[in-house]
């Protein structure tokens, strides 16, 4: 644990320091072996979970600030600048507002369903945070099947949205909930198939594995540069994921002018705050996933020597993609629900299937060619 590794890789070094301190502490008390490893597992796991649960709302709060500032500048106005310098304390004021607003529960609602819907929306989103890789060796868990896990967490949102729409005793909420559920399941297919293209190229479903495979070309061998498959897959993934999380231009289920507020009409106070949290955290997660699988995540020049650079690369790429999402919000109009379904099923699904066919054929021909070349040379 020398000073150089402390400077170049601060978070991992701190984690290992705490872990070794605790091990020696437990050894002093007299516990070791199995019992010590179980206790250590729970304590270190609890520490990581606490860090994630503190970082996630903070990220969400400053994403709302960024959104308000960016969209305001695109609309030729300034955005919040009263509360603190440049409006930086505005999200804190928003949080206080959400926490202190009255929680109105309408009369005919289905109480358990109405209460559980915001919770079921937030849980998969925070679970997805556990598999993101924020830097070299800096993910909470490194699953063998991380990408599939992230896609599965995205599809659990359907149930939550439907619960919110159905549980509120409100026709607008019901229509909003149905439309949101239909939208999510329609755009799951292009999203999963676009990720399948990357899995074909990388040969692994683990997020860390996909990031590590992009280390060619001095750290810049990203999958988006694998023309023509990379950019098309990135474009399809971005569109499908934006539709999955109900953001502009696909935000008809929560459109103010169409459906009052869609599936979260009847929610106020902290329950609405939870829906809001889930939407912004979802935006962060899909930007992080797109940055990891198409742009290399924490991969970049000199990241093996100075691992702390990996965190900067990851957050830089993610913030760039979040900016693209906010750009969509500030510029594009909303798409009608039949245009949305049309686009999803008749354009994106065949395009993605053709893309997978092309990628698989190309990879097979490439490997055949490589085999031919090595058999020639040998």
Partner 1 sequence: MDLIGIISQVVFFLVAALTLAAAFATVLLRNVFHAGLALVGTFFGVAAIYLMLEAEFLAIVQVLIYIGAIAVLILFAIMLTRSLMKNEDSGMNKQWAWAAIAISTLFLGMFIVILQVPWLLNTSVIGTDIVPFLGTELLTTYLLPFEIVSVLLLATLIGAFIIARE
Contact footprint for partner 1 (CB under 8 A): 34-35, 38, 110, 112-113, 116, 143-145, 148-149, 151-152, 155-156, 158-159, 162-163, 166, 174, 178, 181, 185, 188, 205
- Whether the Cβ atoms of residue 333 and residue 250 lie closer than 8 Å to each other: no
Q: How far is the CB of 204 from partner 1 (least distance, A)?
A: 8
CB closer to partner 1, 74 vs 159 = 159
Single out the residue of 277, 219, 252 nearest to residue 339, CA to CA: 252
CB closer to partner 1, 326 vs 349 = 349
* Residue that is written with structure tokens 């609405």 in the block: 272
Distance CA 346, CA 344 (A): 6
Distance CA 71, CA 54 (A): 26
Cis peptide before 86 (omega within 30 of 0): no
Q: How far is the CB of 181 from partner 1 (least distance, A)?
A: 6
CB closer to partner 1, 194 vs 232 = 194
List all residues 6 or more positions away from 285 whose beta carbon is below 8 Å from its beta carbon: 125, 128, 129, 132, 150
Cis peptide before 228 (omega within 30 of 0): yes
CB closer to partner 1, 162 vs 276 = 162
CB closer to partner 1, 35 vs 365 = 35
CB closer to partner 1, 133 vs 186 = 186
Distance CA 15, CA 22 (A): 11
Q: How far is the CB of 200 from partner 1 (least distance, A)?
A: 11
C-alpha separations of 358 from 350, 364, 375 in Å: 12, 10, 26
Q: How far is the CB of 251 from partner 1 (least distance, A)?
A: 20
- Whether the Cβ atoms of residue 177 and residue 164 lie closer than 8 Å to each other: yes
Q: How far is the CB of 156 from partner 1 (least distance, A)?
A: 6
C-alpha separations of 306 from 22, 156, 157, 207 in Å: 27, 38, 38, 21
Structural Rg of the chain based on CA atoms:
23
Q: Positive or negative, the Cα torsion across 54, 55, 60, 63?
A: positive
Q: How far is the CB of 298 from partner 1 (least distance, A)?
A: 22
For residue 141, the tally of other CB atoms under 10 A from its CB is 12
Phi, psi of 25 (to 5 degrees): -60, -45
Q: How far is the CB of 151 from partner 1 (least distance, A)?
A: 6
CB closer to partner 1, 22 vs 143 = 143
Q: How far is the CB of 67 from partner 1 (least distance, A)?
A: 28
CB closer to partner 1, 158 vs 214 = 158
């Amino acid at each position: 644990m020398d000073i150089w590794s402390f400077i170049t890789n601060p978070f991992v070094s701190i984690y290992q320091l705490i872990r070794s301190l605790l091990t020696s502490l437990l050894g002093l008390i007299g516990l070791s072996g199995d019992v010590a490893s179980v206790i250590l597992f729970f304590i270190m796991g609890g520490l990581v979970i606490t860090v994630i649960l503190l970082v996630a709302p903070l990220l969400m709060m400053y994403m709302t600030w960024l959104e308000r500032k960016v969209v305001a500048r695109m609309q030729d106005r300034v955005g919040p600048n009263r509360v603190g310098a440049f409006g930086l304390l505005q999200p804190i004021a928003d949080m206080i507002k959400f926490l202190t607003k009255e929680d109105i529960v309408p009369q005919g609602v289905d109480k358990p369903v109405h209460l559980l819907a915001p919770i079921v929306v937030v849980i998969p989103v925070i679970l997805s945070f556990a598999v993101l890789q924020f830097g070299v060796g800096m993910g909470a868990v490194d699953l063998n099947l991380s990408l599939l896990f992230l896609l599965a967490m995205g599809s659990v949102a359907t149930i939550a949205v439907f619960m919110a729409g159905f549980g509120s005793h409100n026709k607008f909420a019901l229509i909003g909930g149905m439309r949101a559920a239909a939208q999510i399941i329609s755009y799951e297919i292009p999203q999963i198939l676009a990720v399948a293209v990357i899995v074909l190229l990388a040969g692994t479903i683990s997020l860390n594995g996909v990031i590590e495979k992009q280390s060619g070309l001095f750290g810049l061998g990203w999958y988006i540069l694998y023309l023509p498959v990379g950019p098309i897959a990135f474009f399809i993934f971005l569109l499908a994921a934006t539709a999955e999380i109900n953001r502009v231009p696909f935000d008809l289920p929560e459109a103010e002018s169409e459906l009052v507020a869609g599936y979260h009409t009847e929610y106020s106070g902290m329950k609405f705050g939870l829906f809001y949290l889930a939407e912004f955290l979802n935006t962060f997660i899909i930007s992080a996933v797109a940055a990891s699988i198409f742009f290399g995540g924490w991969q970049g020049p000199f990241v093996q020597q100075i691992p702390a650079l990996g965190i900067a690369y990851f957050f830089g790429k993610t913030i760039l993609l979040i900016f693209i999402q906010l750009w969509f919000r500030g510029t594009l109009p909303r798409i009608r629900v039949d245009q949305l379904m049309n686009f999803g099923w008749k354009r994106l699904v065949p395009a993605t299937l053709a893309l997978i066919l092309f990628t698989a054929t190309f990879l097979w021909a490439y490997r055949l060619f490589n085999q031919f070349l090595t058999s020639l040379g040998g």
